[in-house]
Amino acid sequence: MQHAELGASGAHRWMNCPGSIRLSADRPDISSEYAHEGTAAHSLAERALRKGLDPDVWLDGQINGIEVTPEMVEAVEVFVNYVRSRMKELGINEPMLETRFSLASLNPPADMFGTGDAALWAPEISFLEIDDYKHGVGVVVDAFENEQLMYYALGVIVSLKVKPKTIRVTIVQPRAAHPDGIIRFHEFGWDDLVAFKKTLFSAAQLTLEPDAPLSVGPWCKFCRALPVCPAQHQNAVEVAQAEFSTLPTNMPPPPEAMTQEQLLVVMEKMDLVQDWLKSVRGYVQGCLESGEEIPGWKLVEKRAIRKWEDEEAADLWLTHKGIDDDDRYTRKLLSPAQAEKALRAVAPRGKKKDVALPEELVNKKSSGWNLAPAADTRPAIQQSPGEEFEALPPASDKPSKQGGKK
Protein backbone atom coordinates (compact mmCIF):
# COMPACT_ATOMS: atom_id res chain seq x y z
CA MET A 1 0.00 0.00 0.00
CA GLN A 2 1.41 3.38 -1.04
CA HIS A 3 1.64 6.08 1.62
CA ALA A 4 2.21 9.81 1.14
CA GLU A 5 4.91 11.42 3.28
CA LEU A 6 2.32 14.10 4.01
CA GLY A 7 -0.53 11.61 4.30
CA ALA A 8 -3.51 11.76 6.62
CA SER A 9 -2.40 9.00 8.99
CA GLY A 10 0.69 10.99 10.01
CA ALA A 11 -0.91 14.44 9.97
CA HIS A 12 -1.05 14.74 13.76
CA ARG A 13 2.71 14.17 13.87
CA TRP A 14 3.98 16.30 11.01
CA MET A 15 1.57 19.17 11.67
CA ASN A 16 2.99 19.38 15.22
CA CYS A 17 6.57 18.50 14.25
CA PRO A 18 7.28 19.64 10.66
CA GLY A 19 10.93 18.60 10.94
CA SER A 20 9.97 14.95 11.35
CA ILE A 21 9.40 14.64 7.58
CA ARG A 22 12.97 15.66 6.75
CA LEU A 23 14.43 13.57 9.56
CA SER A 24 12.40 10.49 8.53
CA ALA A 25 13.55 10.58 4.92
CA ASP A 26 15.17 7.27 3.92
CA ARG A 27 14.49 5.83 7.39
CA PRO A 28 13.11 2.27 7.30
CA ASP A 29 9.45 1.92 8.23
CA ILE A 30 9.66 -0.93 10.73
CA SER A 31 6.23 -2.36 11.42
CA SER A 32 5.20 -4.19 14.59
CA GLU A 33 3.00 -7.19 15.30
CA TYR A 34 0.41 -4.76 16.67
CA ALA A 35 0.42 -2.84 13.39
CA HIS A 36 -0.05 -6.08 11.43
CA GLU A 37 -2.94 -7.05 13.71
CA GLY A 38 -4.52 -3.63 13.23
CA THR A 39 -4.23 -3.93 9.45
CA ALA A 40 -5.89 -7.36 9.57
CA ALA A 41 -8.70 -5.97 11.75
CA HIS A 42 -9.32 -3.18 9.22
CA SER A 43 -9.42 -5.74 6.41
CA LEU A 44 -11.90 -7.81 8.39
CA ALA A 45 -14.17 -4.78 8.83
CA GLU A 46 -14.00 -3.98 5.12
CA ARG A 47 -14.82 -7.57 4.14
CA ALA A 48 -17.80 -7.72 6.47
CA LEU A 49 -19.22 -4.41 5.25
CA ARG A 50 -18.68 -5.14 1.56
CA LYS A 51 -20.17 -8.64 1.71
CA GLY A 52 -22.98 -7.82 4.14
CA LEU A 53 -21.76 -10.48 6.56
CA ASP A 54 -20.86 -10.50 10.24
CA PRO A 55 -17.14 -10.50 11.17
CA ASP A 56 -17.48 -13.82 13.02
CA VAL A 57 -17.77 -15.57 9.63
CA TRP A 58 -13.98 -15.30 9.50
CA LEU A 59 -13.44 -16.38 13.13
CA ASP A 60 -10.44 -18.71 13.59
CA GLY A 61 -9.36 -18.05 10.01
CA GLN A 62 -6.46 -15.85 8.88
CA ILE A 63 -6.18 -12.51 7.12
CA ASN A 64 -2.73 -11.73 5.70
CA GLY A 65 -1.25 -14.38 8.00
CA ILE A 66 -2.89 -12.92 11.13
CA GLU A 67 -5.33 -15.10 13.07
CA VAL A 68 -8.85 -13.75 13.43
CA THR A 69 -9.40 -14.18 17.17
CA PRO A 70 -12.63 -13.84 19.17
CA GLU A 71 -11.28 -10.57 20.60
CA MET A 72 -10.67 -9.18 17.11
CA VAL A 73 -14.14 -10.24 15.97
CA GLU A 74 -15.79 -8.67 19.01
CA ALA A 75 -13.97 -5.36 18.48
CA VAL A 76 -14.51 -5.16 14.71
CA GLU A 77 -18.17 -6.04 15.17
CA VAL A 78 -18.63 -2.76 17.08
CA PHE A 79 -17.38 -0.76 14.09
CA VAL A 80 -19.34 -2.78 11.54
CA ASN A 81 -22.57 -2.50 13.50
CA TYR A 82 -22.06 1.23 14.01
CA VAL A 83 -21.50 1.91 10.30
CA ARG A 84 -24.57 -0.14 9.40
CA SER A 85 -26.70 1.67 11.97
CA ARG A 86 -25.59 5.06 10.64
CA MET A 87 -26.29 3.95 7.05
CA LYS A 88 -29.82 3.05 8.09
CA GLU A 89 -30.33 6.36 9.93
CA LEU A 90 -29.04 8.39 6.98
CA GLY A 91 -30.79 6.31 4.31
CA ILE A 92 -27.56 5.26 2.61
CA ASN A 93 -27.35 1.96 0.74
CA GLU A 94 -23.62 1.83 0.04
CA PRO A 95 -20.83 3.28 2.18
CA MET A 96 -17.59 4.51 0.67
CA LEU A 97 -15.11 1.92 1.96
CA GLU A 98 -11.32 2.27 1.83
CA THR A 99 -11.77 5.19 -0.55
CA ARG A 100 -8.55 6.47 -2.06
CA PHE A 101 -8.38 10.24 -2.53
CA SER A 102 -5.89 12.90 -3.60
CA LEU A 103 -5.71 16.62 -2.80
CA ALA A 104 -3.87 17.35 -6.07
CA SER A 105 -6.73 19.52 -7.39
CA LEU A 106 -6.20 21.91 -4.45
CA ASN A 107 -2.57 22.49 -5.49
CA PRO A 108 -0.90 21.30 -2.24
CA PRO A 109 2.81 21.98 -1.55
CA ALA A 110 3.61 18.27 -2.13
CA ASP A 111 1.82 15.00 -2.88
CA MET A 112 -1.03 14.64 -0.40
CA PHE A 113 -3.36 11.65 -0.57
CA GLY A 114 -4.74 8.89 1.60
CA THR A 115 -7.38 6.22 2.15
CA GLY A 116 -10.24 6.47 4.64
CA ASP A 117 -11.98 3.56 6.38
CA ALA A 118 -15.61 4.53 5.73
CA ALA A 119 -17.42 7.63 4.51
CA LEU A 120 -21.18 8.25 4.37
CA TRP A 121 -22.60 11.00 2.15
CA ALA A 122 -26.25 11.97 2.54
CA PRO A 123 -26.98 14.57 -0.21
CA GLU A 124 -30.59 15.12 0.87
CA ILE A 125 -29.46 16.72 4.13
CA SER A 126 -26.01 17.79 2.92
CA PHE A 127 -24.31 15.66 5.59
CA LEU A 128 -20.94 13.92 5.41
CA GLU A 129 -19.70 11.43 7.98
CA ILE A 130 -16.18 10.02 8.22
CA ASP A 131 -15.94 6.84 10.32
CA ASP A 132 -12.53 5.62 11.41
CA TYR A 133 -11.74 2.35 13.19
CA LYS A 134 -8.95 2.20 15.76
CA HIS A 135 -7.93 -1.30 16.86
CA GLY A 136 -5.22 -0.14 19.25
CA VAL A 137 -5.31 -0.24 23.03
CA GLY A 138 -2.29 1.77 24.14
CA VAL A 139 -3.03 5.11 22.46
CA VAL A 140 -6.51 6.54 23.05
CA VAL A 141 -7.58 8.74 20.13
CA ASP A 142 -9.87 11.77 20.44
CA ALA A 143 -12.34 12.76 17.73
CA PHE A 144 -12.34 16.49 18.54
CA GLU A 145 -10.47 18.38 15.82
CA ASN A 146 -8.72 15.15 14.84
CA GLU A 147 -6.27 16.09 12.08
CA GLN A 148 -6.35 12.69 10.40
CA LEU A 149 -10.14 12.57 10.12
CA MET A 150 -10.50 16.19 9.03
CA TYR A 151 -7.89 15.44 6.34
CA TYR A 152 -10.03 12.46 5.24
CA ALA A 153 -13.13 14.67 5.15
CA LEU A 154 -11.31 17.15 2.93
CA GLY A 155 -10.22 14.32 0.61
CA VAL A 156 -13.71 12.83 0.31
CA ILE A 157 -15.18 16.26 -0.46
CA VAL A 158 -12.61 16.80 -3.20
CA SER A 159 -13.36 13.33 -4.63
CA LEU A 160 -17.14 13.80 -4.60
CA LYS A 161 -17.03 17.52 -5.52
CA VAL A 162 -19.64 18.37 -2.90
CA LYS A 163 -20.08 21.08 -0.26
CA PRO A 164 -21.69 19.62 2.89
CA LYS A 165 -23.32 21.84 5.49
CA THR A 166 -22.42 19.49 8.33
CA ILE A 167 -19.45 17.14 8.69
CA ARG A 168 -19.11 14.51 11.40
CA VAL A 169 -15.87 12.66 12.12
CA THR A 170 -16.20 9.54 14.26
CA ILE A 171 -13.66 7.40 16.08
CA VAL A 172 -14.63 3.82 16.95
CA GLN A 173 -12.07 2.36 19.37
CA PRO A 174 -13.63 -0.63 21.17
CA ARG A 175 -10.54 -1.85 23.01
CA ALA A 176 -9.47 1.36 24.77
CA ALA A 177 -11.14 3.14 27.68
CA HIS A 178 -12.26 6.76 27.19
CA PRO A 179 -14.63 8.88 29.29
CA ASP A 180 -16.71 9.63 26.18
CA GLY A 181 -17.14 5.94 25.40
CA ILE A 182 -15.77 3.69 22.68
CA ILE A 183 -17.57 5.66 19.95
CA ARG A 184 -16.73 9.38 19.85
CA PHE A 185 -17.59 12.02 17.27
CA HIS A 186 -17.06 15.69 16.48
CA GLU A 187 -19.31 17.77 14.22
CA PHE A 188 -18.32 20.97 12.43
CA GLY A 189 -19.29 23.08 9.44
CA TRP A 190 -17.90 24.02 6.06
CA ASP A 191 -16.09 27.12 7.31
CA ASP A 192 -14.24 25.03 9.91
CA LEU A 193 -13.00 22.70 7.18
CA VAL A 194 -11.84 25.65 5.04
CA ALA A 195 -9.86 26.97 8.01
CA PHE A 196 -8.37 23.51 8.60
CA LYS A 197 -7.31 23.28 4.95
CA LYS A 198 -5.29 26.49 5.34
CA THR A 199 -3.63 25.20 8.51
CA LEU A 200 -2.94 21.83 6.88
CA PHE A 201 -1.28 23.34 3.81
CA SER A 202 0.74 25.82 5.89
CA ALA A 203 2.11 22.94 7.98
CA ALA A 204 2.80 20.94 4.81
CA GLN A 205 4.75 23.87 3.35
CA LEU A 206 6.78 24.16 6.56
CA THR A 207 7.86 20.50 6.32
CA LEU A 208 9.67 21.34 3.07
CA GLU A 209 11.91 23.92 4.72
CA PRO A 210 15.52 22.75 5.37
CA ASP A 211 15.33 24.04 8.94
CA ALA A 212 11.80 22.80 9.68
CA PRO A 213 11.46 22.75 13.48
CA LEU A 214 11.40 19.60 15.60
CA SER A 215 8.98 19.35 18.50
CA VAL A 216 8.76 16.62 21.13
CA GLY A 217 5.30 15.40 22.14
CA PRO A 218 2.85 12.48 22.13
CA TRP A 219 3.00 12.44 18.32
CA CYS A 220 6.59 11.09 18.52
CA LYS A 221 5.54 7.56 19.49
CA PHE A 222 5.35 6.09 15.98
CA CYS A 223 7.83 8.40 14.23
CA ARG A 224 10.42 6.56 12.11
CA ALA A 225 13.08 9.11 13.11
CA LEU A 226 12.59 8.58 16.84
CA PRO A 227 15.94 6.80 17.49
CA VAL A 228 18.01 9.51 15.76
CA CYS A 229 15.98 12.60 16.69
CA PRO A 230 18.12 15.33 18.30
CA ALA A 231 15.07 16.82 20.03
CA GLN A 232 14.40 13.44 21.66
CA HIS A 233 18.04 13.16 22.66
CA GLN A 234 17.89 16.59 24.28
CA ASN A 235 14.71 15.58 26.08
CA ALA A 236 16.47 12.52 27.53
CA VAL A 237 19.46 14.63 28.55
CA GLU A 238 17.18 17.02 30.45
CA VAL A 239 15.83 14.08 32.45
CA ALA A 240 19.31 12.68 33.10
CA GLN A 241 20.61 16.07 34.18
CA ALA A 242 17.93 16.67 36.79
CA GLU A 243 19.66 17.96 39.92
CA PHE A 244 20.61 14.81 41.81
CA SER A 245 23.44 16.55 43.67
CA THR A 246 23.41 14.30 46.74
CA LEU A 247 23.42 11.03 44.76
CA PRO A 248 26.07 9.16 42.77
CA THR A 249 26.16 10.23 39.14
CA ASN A 250 26.74 6.73 37.77
CA MET A 251 23.41 5.23 38.87
CA PRO A 252 19.74 6.22 38.72
CA PRO A 253 18.47 7.51 42.08
CA PRO A 254 15.78 5.62 43.97
CA PRO A 255 12.45 7.50 43.70
CA GLU A 256 12.13 7.87 47.49
CA ALA A 257 15.39 9.88 47.49
CA MET A 258 14.12 12.38 44.90
CA THR A 259 12.42 15.67 45.60
CA GLN A 260 8.92 16.27 44.30
CA GLU A 261 10.32 18.68 41.72
CA GLN A 262 12.71 16.00 40.46
CA LEU A 263 9.92 13.44 40.31
CA LEU A 264 7.79 15.82 38.27
CA VAL A 265 10.63 16.44 35.79
CA VAL A 266 11.07 12.70 35.25
CA MET A 267 7.33 11.90 35.15
CA GLU A 268 6.64 14.68 32.64
CA LYS A 269 9.15 13.29 30.15
CA MET A 270 9.18 9.61 31.12
CA ASP A 271 6.89 8.25 28.38
CA LEU A 272 8.75 10.12 25.65
CA VAL A 273 12.12 8.88 26.92
CA GLN A 274 10.83 5.30 27.15
CA ASP A 275 9.54 5.47 23.57
CA TRP A 276 12.90 6.82 22.46
CA LEU A 277 14.86 4.11 24.28
CA LYS A 278 12.58 1.43 22.80
CA SER A 279 13.09 2.84 19.30
CA VAL A 280 16.89 2.91 19.81
CA ARG A 281 16.82 -0.77 20.81
CA GLY A 282 14.76 -1.60 17.71
CA TYR A 283 17.12 0.41 15.52
CA VAL A 284 20.22 -1.39 16.85
CA GLN A 285 18.52 -4.77 16.42
CA GLY A 286 17.62 -3.84 12.85
CA CYS A 287 21.25 -2.93 12.14
CA LEU A 288 22.44 -6.29 13.47
CA GLU A 289 19.77 -8.17 11.49
CA SER A 290 20.96 -6.46 8.31
CA GLY A 291 24.54 -7.64 8.94
CA GLU A 292 26.00 -4.47 10.44
CA GLU A 293 28.29 -4.89 13.46
CA ILE A 294 27.49 -2.99 16.65
CA PRO A 295 30.36 -3.29 19.18
CA GLY A 296 29.22 -4.86 22.44
CA TRP A 297 25.94 -6.25 21.06
CA LYS A 298 24.83 -9.39 19.23
CA LEU A 299 21.70 -11.30 18.22
CA VAL A 300 20.73 -14.42 20.17
CA GLU A 301 17.87 -16.86 19.74
CA LYS A 302 14.71 -16.43 21.77
CA ARG A 303 13.76 -19.13 24.25
CA ALA A 304 12.68 -22.21 22.33
CA ILE A 305 9.11 -23.44 22.87
CA ARG A 306 8.35 -27.08 22.16
CA LYS A 307 5.51 -27.80 19.74
CA TRP A 308 4.21 -30.98 18.16
CA GLU A 309 5.68 -31.50 14.70
CA ASP A 310 2.62 -33.54 13.70
CA GLU A 311 -0.38 -33.36 16.05
CA GLU A 312 -2.14 -36.37 14.49
CA ALA A 313 0.98 -38.53 14.85
CA ALA A 314 1.44 -37.32 18.43
CA ASP A 315 -2.20 -38.14 19.18
CA LEU A 316 -1.77 -41.70 17.91
CA TRP A 317 1.48 -42.15 19.84
CA LEU A 318 -0.07 -40.97 23.11
CA THR A 319 -3.07 -43.24 22.51
CA HIS A 320 -0.72 -46.17 22.01
CA LYS A 321 0.96 -45.27 25.31
CA GLY A 322 -2.36 -45.61 27.10
CA ILE A 323 -3.29 -41.93 27.49
CA ASP A 324 -7.08 -41.75 27.08
CA ASP A 325 -9.08 -38.95 25.43
CA ASP A 326 -9.82 -37.02 28.63
CA ASP A 327 -6.12 -36.86 29.48
CA ARG A 328 -4.89 -36.11 25.95
CA TYR A 329 -7.06 -33.04 25.45
CA THR A 330 -7.95 -30.01 27.51
CA ARG A 331 -11.41 -28.42 27.43
CA LYS A 332 -12.10 -24.70 27.37
CA LEU A 333 -15.46 -22.95 27.47
CA LEU A 334 -16.40 -20.89 24.44
CA SER A 335 -15.63 -17.18 24.66
CA PRO A 336 -18.63 -14.80 24.53
CA ALA A 337 -17.89 -14.06 20.85
CA GLN A 338 -17.67 -17.78 20.01
CA ALA A 339 -20.85 -18.47 22.00
CA GLU A 340 -22.75 -15.84 20.02
CA LYS A 341 -21.58 -17.44 16.78
CA ALA A 342 -22.73 -20.87 17.96
CA LEU A 343 -26.12 -19.46 19.00
CA ARG A 344 -26.60 -17.79 15.63
CA ALA A 345 -25.85 -21.10 13.92
CA VAL A 346 -28.79 -22.79 15.68
CA ALA A 347 -31.16 -19.80 15.70
CA PRO A 348 -34.21 -19.90 13.38
CA ARG A 349 -33.99 -17.98 10.14
CA GLY A 350 -34.81 -14.32 10.71
CA LYS A 351 -33.83 -14.50 14.38
CA LYS A 352 -30.06 -14.69 14.04
CA LYS A 353 -29.62 -10.94 14.62
CA ASP A 354 -31.59 -11.17 17.87
CA VAL A 355 -29.04 -13.42 19.59
CA ALA A 356 -27.89 -11.86 22.85
CA LEU A 357 -26.06 -13.20 25.87
CA PRO A 358 -27.61 -12.69 29.34
CA GLU A 359 -26.01 -9.67 30.99
CA GLU A 360 -25.53 -11.57 34.24
CA LEU A 361 -23.30 -14.13 32.46
CA VAL A 362 -20.91 -11.67 30.80
CA ASN A 363 -18.72 -8.97 32.26
CA LYS A 364 -16.24 -6.57 30.78
CA LYS A 365 -13.96 -5.59 33.61
CA SER A 366 -10.79 -3.57 33.66
CA SER A 367 -7.72 -5.56 34.65
CA GLY A 368 -6.41 -2.85 36.97
CA TRP A 369 -5.24 0.73 37.15
CA ASN A 370 -2.91 2.79 34.99
CA LEU A 371 -0.96 5.87 35.98
CA ALA A 372 -1.92 8.90 33.86
CA PRO A 373 -1.14 12.63 33.87
CA ALA A 374 -3.74 14.99 35.32
CA ALA A 375 -4.47 16.32 31.81
CA ASP A 376 -5.64 12.88 30.65
CA THR A 377 -9.32 12.97 29.65
CA ARG A 378 -10.19 9.75 31.52
CA PRO A 379 -11.76 10.25 34.96
CA ALA A 380 -9.66 9.53 38.05
CA ILE A 381 -10.54 6.46 40.09
CA GLN A 382 -12.44 7.43 43.24
CA GLN A 383 -11.79 5.11 46.15
CA SER A 384 -14.10 5.00 49.11
CA PRO A 385 -12.55 5.31 52.61
CA GLY A 386 -13.43 1.66 53.19
CA GLU A 387 -11.36 0.60 50.20
CA GLU A 388 -8.40 2.70 51.25
CA PHE A 389 -8.29 1.30 54.80
CA GLU A 390 -9.25 -2.25 53.91
CA ALA A 391 -5.65 -3.47 54.04
CA LEU A 392 -4.92 -2.01 57.49
CA PRO A 393 -4.63 -4.52 60.38
CA PRO A 394 -7.45 -4.46 62.97
CA ALA A 395 -6.85 -2.43 66.14
CA SER A 396 -5.55 -4.43 69.09
CA ASP A 397 -7.35 -4.57 72.42
CA LYS A 398 -4.10 -4.99 74.33
CA PRO A 399 -3.05 -2.06 76.57
CA SER A 400 -0.17 0.06 75.37
CA LYS A 401 2.97 0.64 77.39
CA GLN A 402 1.61 4.01 78.46
CA GLY A 403 -1.59 2.35 79.73
CA GLY A 404 -5.03 2.32 78.14
CA LYS A 405 -5.79 0.77 74.77
CA LYS A 406 -4.06 1.30 71.47
Q: Which DSSP string corresponds to 4-33?
A: -TT-STTHHHHHH-THHHHHHTT------H
- The four Cα atoms 263, 264, 268, 274 give a dihedral, to 10 degrees, of 0
Asked if 64 and 40 count as a contact pair (C-beta separation under 8 A), the reply is: yes
Q: What is the mean pLDDT of residues 308-330?
A: 85
pLDDT at 115 over 60: yes
Q: Give the pLDDT score at 50.
A: 95
Dihedral sign, CA of 61, 64, 70, 74?
negative
The ranges assigned to domains in the chain are: 11-212, 225-289
Cβ–Cβ < 8 Å for 129, 88 = no
Q: How confident is the model at residue 381 (pLDDT cuts 50, 70, 90)?
A: low
pTM above 0.75, yes or no: no
| Identity at 158, one-letter amino acid code | V
Task: Give pLDDT, residue 185.
Answer: 95
3-state SS, residue 309: coil
DSSP three-state, residue 312 = helix
Tell me which DSSP letter residue 217 carries: S
Distance (Å, whole) CA 42 – CA 36: 10
Task: Please give the pLDDT value at position 104.
Answer: 93
Among residues 125, 111, 126, the alpha carbon closest in space to that of 193 is found at: 126
Cβ atoms of residues 178 and 146 within 8 Å: no
* CATH class for the domain made up of 11-212: alpha beta
In the predicted structure, residue 54 carries a pLDDT above the cut 70: yes
pLDDT digits (tens, 9 = 90+) for 259-280: 787 778 777 767 766 776 776 7
Label residue 307 left, alpha or beta by phi (over 0 means left) and psi (-120 to 50 means alpha): beta
| The Cα angle at residue 18 between residues 13 and 265, in degrees rounded to 5 | 65
Report the range out of 320-329, 332-341, 346-355, 392-401 with the highest average pLDDT: 320-329
Over residues 69-81, mean pLDDT: 93
The amino acid at 12: H
Q: Between the CA atoms of 49, 53, 55 and 56, what dihedral angle is there, to the nearest 10 degrees?
A: 180
**Interval 281-315: pLDDT, tens:** 777 777 777 788 888 888 777 666 788 888 888 88
Whether 362 contacts 336, CB under 8 Å: yes
Give the largest CA-CA distance in the chain: 89
Q: Which of 249, 252, 214, 255 is nearest to 235 (CA)?
A: 214
Q: Which of 79-83, 238-242, 316-320, 334-338 has the lowest mean pLDDT?
A: 238-242
Mean pLDDT computed over every residue of the chain: 82
